Amino acid sequence: MTKKRNVTVTVNGEAHSGEAEPRTLLADFLRDELRLTGTHVGCEHGVCGACTVIVDGFAARSCLMFAVQADGAEINTIEGLAENGNMHPLQKLFSEHRALQCGFCTPGMLMTAIDLVHSHDSLTEEEVRIGMSAALCRCTGYEGIVNAVAEYARQVHGKDAGNG
Ligand code: FES
Ligand code: FES
């Protein structure tokens, strides 16, 4: 049996440690070892975006990273979005715009959108569509998702993301 290694990460501001084999994916480490099951696993080969988390400030597919690669990293997951029982503004917009149905893709969509919006000073609707194409949804047809993310971008950037 492969020897397990200790992996320490900061997740949503809290230090966590656990054991991982060298081949353990970060997604599985978060879900199975740290019991943070909000991060979903769909395709397990980097296509669907369901497993997206923020690692050291950048969106990353946690099915394409080994847990040992994340040792020492700061990670943000869906569990850290709501504060004191209040939904994050983007979560509220997803609800208002009916940007989810079964919800399987939603954690990855939200983390993808957070990275997209906060890594730009402004976004056109087309740029929102291109940025959000990193994550796949089998239910919604994307209109609600694009509208929610475009409105969030307007709130964050303080300008119109609906044109261009
Ligand atoms: S589960 Fe990671 S991209 Fe699909
Ligand atoms: S809401 Fe079902 S996959 Fe997106």
Cα–chain center distance at 116: 10
CATH code of the domain in which 121 resides? 1.10.150.120
Domain carrying residue 34: 5-80
Q: Which ligand is nearest to the CA of 134?
A: 1
Helix boundaries (H) for 45-142: 89-96, 106-118, 125-132
Q: Let me know whether 76 and 93 are in one domain.
A: no
Rounded Cα distance between 41 and 27, Å, is 7
CATH of the domain at 61: 3.10.20.30
Q: Which two tokens stand for residue 135?
A: 């994550």
pTM of the model: 0.94
Q: How many structural domains are present in the chain?
A: 2
Ligand nearest to the CA of 40: 1
Q: Is residue 163 part of a domain?
A: no
- What distance in Å separates the CA atoms of residue 70 and residue 54, rounded to the nearest whole number? 11
Q: Is 162 domain-assigned?
A: no
CA of 74 to the centre of ligand 1 (A): 20
Last residue of a domain, one of 80, 110, 130: 80
- Could you report the per-residue pLDDT of 19-59, keeping only the tens digit for each? 999 999 999 999 999 999 999 999 999 999 999 999 999 99
